[in-house]
Homo-oligomer: A and B are copies of this chain.
Amino acid sequence: MAPLLRATSFPRHSRLHHLRFPLLLLLPSRSLRSAAPVAAPGLDLTNPTYVVWGCNTGVGKTLVSAGLAASVLSPCSTDPSAFLYLKPVQTGFPCDSDSRFVCRKVSALFRRYEGGSLSGLLASDHVLNASRAAAGELLGGRLEQPDEAEEGDAASRGLCMYEETRIGMGEAKEGESKLVCKTLFGWKEGISPHLAVKREGMPVEDSSLRELLGRCLGLSLGGGGDDGGKKRIWRVIETAGGVASPGPSGTLQCDLYRIADEIIPKDQGLSNEVSLQSYLRSRLPVLVLPPIPGDPLNNLLDWFYESRQTFSSLQDIMLSAHIKRIQRLHDMPRKAGSLFWWPFTQHKLVPEKMVTVIDSRCGENFAIHKVLNDQEMIIPQFDACASWWTQGPDSTLQIELVKDIGYSVARYGHVMFPENVYEPALQCAELLLDGVGKGWASRTFFSDNGSTAVEIALKMAFRKYTSDHGIHADFHKLGPKGSCTELRVLALSGSYHGDTLGAMEAQAPSSYTSFIQQPWYQLLAMYSGRGLFLDPPECFISNEIWSLSLPDCLWTNHLKPEDTRFSSCAELFCPSRDTSAVAENYANYISKQLSDFAASSCSIQRILVWECQSRKIPVIFDEVFSGFWRLGRESAAELLGCQPDVACFGKLLTGGVVPLAVTLATESVFEAFQGDSKLLALLHGHSYSAHAVGCASAAKAIRWFKDPNTNANFDIERKMLKELWDVKLVHGLSSLPAVQRVVVLGTLLAVELKADGCDTGYASLYTSSLVQQLRADGLYIRPLGNVIYLMCSPCTSPHFCSQQLCKLHQRIYEFSERRGKE
């Protein structure tokens, strides 16, 4: 629990929800992006880090920092510690300097009250950067040349103003308490930092600020007489102004410091702690300090002395919360292994040490907990599997979604959908029909996940088919033998449409459909499942060349090798290929399959759609994975250049935060359900149909990904994403000896490793050593058998993608070498 010290109007700001979860630890994603392709070192949790927030300026943040430091450093403290105080941004400098205040006040307190004790204190204050104006002021006007302030920015940096005080008996010795205070950036005028930057120069990028802060946090506080790190280091960061005050770049502080460990909000005012306590109930301990003397000349030493018990309690509360947190992190893998039943997981193959503890997510990255060299670490990991392909938000969109979702819960919670309308659902439907459904769909049917969206699509297609082909609705009344009209699906082998029993019947036999997994899956002589499954061709890059591999059924002798090789992905998808020799083969194959029974590159899919639609067989596109820019276009339909009758969307639909799925349909499919009786309606629905949170989230995400103002990857002219994976690096990968083939499309990059027999396939553990290495590099990979894939967000910068590709290349290269030696 982060304690709260005297507050009048404790702001119930969404960011302040951290309060009830004092153990916030989010790593800055942007500093990650600018990091070298070695995993950023992350934050060491062994020593606790706290951020001091205030509701406003002048509420006594610095008094709390100083009181806490004095308490921690006191020889009476139960926990021998060193104290690092960081003030990242100081305005009004050097007149105001919170780090100097803390340094001097703690020294004075130590001198007055602990002077006689045997232990000593070494206290220092260090100013790292000051604007020219601030530095001039500090150096007695010698640098004061306002007119040159702007050009002179560089010169004003690296000020290295330093003062140090030792208090104690005799020489410095081991075990001496140590207080290190640092101001990172100082501006002269006592105004909001972003304004000070405007007036005095010395702009600071958020990433630079975070990086410098990170480096300072990493200080060991060691020295000549160091005790070898046995002491706990308390690290306190004090913010400037209020929670929502802007930093130097204009970014609000609550967004800027996503590196917090614990947060202390505090305020002072009328003695309303009773009301506060009752309001906060058991959320937070509320500590009350004695009234602060009003006299500006008062040196506050007595006040601090009177407050020592309160600060000591504060110290205890903060430390015990920290220790509890570490303990919980340690317990989590064991508890997870014994309480969870993970999907698609053979628990026997996941020992406790393999369990990943995810402490937070920020944009495309996780922060995970790990003990490395006896240090409690929080380490960044790129979520390379996009958490089962759901993830889209960069760190900015994630914050935007916090707001929209929070608003939606406050305004709607969830409300009933059928026969009703409310703004988020309507907005979401409008955006869907104007986006992925544009030009063909006119109806939106909401559900919760891809599987259910597919089952709904099947029900739609069944009805449309029976209605178009005059199959009577009451056919089943013919009796037990009447059900000989079996409706079957035509699908591609190797495809996957979800795990519900019905959706599985639309898949070709595989590990997933075995008797042990799905005892109701049909296995008959002529066909398996409830479908006819066609073998599609596959496209990939091998040795730098885009190629097409045709299954035997599609191969004929008059095809030439050059018919299956392409200079680029674009050529492969070009509609002009519809008249190629390969395409002719497709048409013959499909036509033959369709007529035999009563029927995939992309050209084959286009031809398949045409052949089906000409026979009034409704076409369903399962876009649960491919929708919303996964493949570089808003939908696969757009990529293929043809339109379905029904299509299913999920995963990225909400941007990647909450489940929501939708099945879109043409008006003519919808009409097959119209009638005078409710019994003709599509009698299917889920409790949270079109839930407001999901719809609001989707409405934000759909707009975000295709707005060049919010997504720098969006090419508005071509209505597609820019190339995210560097072509040269991809070709390089495709030429590695261990690599069979590479596929790259939109946000996806997949690498199939050469493997034989039991090393291939879904259950293979072939890549596990490689996966462990990549995770150590900061790439959270989840392989599919001998296939390793990286999936980024539609907003991820190509630069970041290249960094990940380099790591991948290096590790697969080493893997090739090892394999070569075996």
Q: Mark A465-502, 1 if CB is under 8 A from B, else 0.
A: 01000000111100010110011000000000011111
Contact A688 to B658, CB < 8 A, known contacts A12-B13, A420-B356, A445-B341:
yes
Question: B419 contacts A355, CB within 8 Å?
Answer: yes
Q: Mark A305-316, 1 if CB is under 8 A from B, else 0.
A: 000000000000
Which residues of A, 421-439, contact B by the 8 Å Cβ criterion? 421-423, 425-426, 429-430, 433
* In the complex, A393 has a CB within 8 A of chain B: yes
Contact A358 to B26, CB < 8 A, known contacts A340-B444, A343-B682, A657-B413:
no
Contact A407 to B17, CB < 8 A, known contacts A335-B430, A342-B417, A693-B658:
yes
Residues of B within 8 A of A515 (CB): 473-476, 483
* In the complex, A676 has a CB within 8 A of chain B: yes
Q: Mark A397-427, 1 if CB is under 8 A from B, else 0.
A: 0110111111101111111111111110110
Q: Mark A606-633, 1 if CB is under 8 A from B, else 0.
A: 0000000000000000001000000000
Q: Mark A192-226, 1 if CB is under 8 A from B, else 0.
A: 10110000000000000000000000000000000
Residues of B within 8 A of A459 (CB): 517-518
In the complex, residue of chain B having the shortest beta-carbon distance to the beta carbon of A409: B402
Residues of B within 8 A of A415 (CB): 358, 361, 366, 383, 387
Stretch at the interface among A41-49, A135-143, A238-246, A582-590: A238-246
Residues of B within 8 A of A683 (CB): 344, 499, 511-512, 517
Residues of B within 8 A of A399 (CB): 410
Residues of B within 8 A of A401 (CB): 409, 413
- Per the bound structure, the CA–CA distance linking A516 and B343 in Å amounts to 33
Which residues of A, 682-736, contact B by the 8 Å Cβ criterion? 682-691, 693-694, 709
Question: B420 contacts A346, CB within 8 Å?
Answer: no
Residues of B within 8 A of A522 (CB): 483
Contact A346 to B516, CB < 8 A, known contacts A9-B246, A12-B13:
no
* In the complex, A762 has a CB within 8 A of chain B: yes
- Per the bound structure, the CA–CA distance linking A685 and B651 in Å amounts to 13
* In the complex, A656 has a CB within 8 A of chain B: yes
Which residues of A, 45-85, contact B by the 8 Å Cβ criterion? 56
Question: A345 contacts B419, CB within 8 Å?
Answer: yes
* In the complex, A544 has a CB within 8 A of chain B: no
- Per the bound structure, the CA–CA distance linking A367 and B782 in Å amounts to 46
* In the complex, A298 has a CB within 8 A of chain B: no
Question: A516 contacts B687, CB within 8 Å?
Answer: no
- Per the bound structure, the CA–CA distance linking A350 and B4 in Å amounts to 54
In the complex, residue of chain B having the shortest beta-carbon distance to the beta carbon of A191: B270
Contact A335 to B421, CB < 8 A, known contacts A15-B12, A17-B410, A682-B343:
yes
* In the complex, A370 has a CB within 8 A of chain B: no
Which residues of A, 670-690, contact B by the 8 Å Cβ criterion? 670, 673-690
Question: A343 contacts B416, CB within 8 Å?
Answer: no
- Per the bound structure, the CA–CA distance linking A658 and B480 in Å amounts to 42
Question: B443 contacts A340, CB within 8 Å?
Answer: yes
* In the complex, A320 has a CB within 8 A of chain B: no
* In the complex, A339 has a CB within 8 A of chain B: yes
* In the complex, A18 has a CB within 8 A of chain B: yes
In the complex, residue of chain B having the shortest beta-carbon distance to the beta carbon of A514: B476
What's the nearest-Cβ distance from chain B to residue A254, in Å?
7
Residues of B within 8 A of A475 (CB): 515
* In the complex, A553 has a CB within 8 A of chain B: no
Residues of B within 8 A of A56 (CB): 9, 56
Contact A345 to B452, CB < 8 A, known contacts A9-B242, A398-B413:
no
What's the nearest-Cβ distance from chain B to residue A776, in Å?
16
**One of B347, B402, B624 near A674 (C-beta < 8 A):** B347
What's the nearest-Cβ distance from chain B to residue A438, in Å?
13
- Per the bound structure, the CA–CA distance linking A573 and B152 in Å amounts to 85
* In the complex, A665 has a CB within 8 A of chain B: yes
Residues of B within 8 A of A458 (CB): 501
- Per the bound structure, the CA–CA distance linking A344 and B690 in Å amounts to 13
**One of B419, B429, B659 near A354 (C-beta < 8 A):** B419
Q: Mark A341-385, 1 if CB is under 8 A from B, else 0.
A: 111111111100011111111000010000000000000000101
**One of B393, B404, B451 near A500 (C-beta < 8 A):** B451
Residues of B within 8 A of A335 (CB): 421, 426, 430
Contact A656 to B339, CB < 8 A, known contacts A254-B12, A517-B459, A687-B650:
no
What's the nearest-Cβ distance from chain B to residue A617, in Å?
15
Which residues of A, 750-766, contact B by the 8 Å Cβ criterion? 762-763
Contact A487 to B679, CB < 8 A, known contacts A191-B270, A194-B275, A500-B451:
no
Contact A407 to B14, CB < 8 A, known contacts A500-B500, A680-B346:
yes
Stretch at the interface among A95-103, A115-123, A523-531, A535-543: A523-531
Contact A244 to B10, CB < 8 A, known contacts A270-B195, A681-B345:
yes
What's the nearest-Cβ distance from chain B to residue A679, in Å?
5
Question: B421 contacts A389, CB within 8 Å?
Answer: no
Most B CB within 10 A of own CB, among A56, A452, A516, A656 = A516
Q: Mark A139-169, 1 if CB is under 8 A from B, else 0.
A: 0000000000000000000000000000000
* In the complex, A175 has a CB within 8 A of chain B: no
* In the complex, A333 has a CB within 8 A of chain B: yes
Question: A678 contacts B409, CB within 8 Å?
Answer: no
Contact A272 to B195, CB < 8 A, known contacts A402-B410, A448-B659, A451-B452:
yes
* In the complex, A176 has a CB within 8 A of chain B: no
Residues of B within 8 A of A423 (CB): 21, 328, 332
Question: A520 contacts B414, CB within 8 Å?
Answer: no
Question: A516 contacts B450, CB within 8 Å?
Answer: no
* In the complex, A463 has a CB within 8 A of chain B: yes
Residues of B within 8 A of A195 (CB): 270, 272, 275
- Per the bound structure, the CA–CA distance linking A343 and B682 in Å amounts to 7
* In the complex, A391 has a CB within 8 A of chain B: yes
Question: B341 contacts A519, CB within 8 Å?
Answer: no
What's the nearest-Cβ distance from chain B to residue A667, in Å?
9
Residues of B within 8 A of A391 (CB): 413-414
- Per the bound structure, the CA–CA distance linking A599 and B195 in Å amounts to 78
* In the complex, A24 has a CB within 8 A of chain B: yes
- Per the bound structure, the CA–CA distance linking A709 and B283 in Å amounts to 13
What's the nearest-Cβ distance from chain B to residue A758, in Å?
11
* In the complex, A455 has a CB within 8 A of chain B: yes
Question: A520 contacts B451, CB within 8 Å?
Answer: no
What's the nearest-Cβ distance from chain B to residue A64, in Å?
20
**One of B15, B348, B685 near A410 (C-beta < 8 A):** B15
* In the complex, A634 has a CB within 8 A of chain B: no
* In the complex, A8 has a CB within 8 A of chain B: yes
* In the complex, A798 has a CB within 8 A of chain B: no
Question: A17 contacts B192, CB within 8 Å?
Answer: no
In the complex, residue of chain B having the shortest beta-carbon distance to the beta carbon of A456: B499
* In the complex, A737 has a CB within 8 A of chain B: no
Question: B687 contacts A449, CB within 8 Å?
Answer: yes
Question: Can you give 26 A-B contacts (C-beta < 8 A)?
Answer: A9-B241, A9-B242, A12-B244, A194-B272, A195-B275, A252-B279, A336-B421, A339-B430, A341-B665, A342-B419, A343-B685, A344-B418, A345-B678, A348-B676, A358-B422, A361-B413, A390-B687, A399-B410, A414-B656, A416-B782, A449-B688, A451-B452, A480-B525, A516-B679, A659-B687, A693-B693
List 9 other contacts, CB 8 Å, given A9-B192, A11-B243, A357-B422. A14-B14, A21-B411, A195-B275, A246-B279, A346-B677, A356-B419, A356-B421, A391-B414, A482-B523
Nearest 9 CB-CB pairs, A to B?
A501-B502, A343-B685, A17-B407, A336-B421, A476-B515, A406-B406, A659-B688, A14-B14, A346-B681
